[in-house]
A and B are shown apart, each in its own frame.
Chain A
Amino acid sequence: AQSVSQHNHHVILSEAASLELGCNYSYGGTVNLFWYVQYPGQHLQLLLKYFSGDPLVKGIKGFEAEFIKSKFSFNLRKPSVQWSDTAEYFCAGGAFTSGTYKYIFGTGTRLKVLA
Chain B
Amino acid sequence: EAQVTQNPRYLITVTGKKLTVTCSQNMNHEYMSWYRQDPGLGLRQIYYSMNVEVTDKGDVPEGYKVSRKEKRNFPLILESPSPNQTSLYFCASSLQGVNTEAFFGQGTRLTVV
Q: A residues near B, CB below 8 A?
A: 9, 30, 32, 34, 36, 42-46, 49, 51-52, 90, 92, 94-96, 100-103, 105-108
Contact = CB atoms under 8 A, between A and B. Distances in A.
A46 B100 contact: no
B106 A32 contact: no
Contact of A101 (B41, B44, B96): B96
Contacts of B43: 44, 90, 105, 108
Contacts, number: 59
B30 to A, nearest CB: 10
Nearest to A9: B40
A20 to B, nearest CB: 19
A101 B31 contact: yes
Contacts of B104: 36, 43-45
Nearest to B56: A100
Contact of B42 (A30, A46, A106): A106
Contacts of B31: 101
Contacts of B40: 9, 107
A4 B42 CA distance: 11
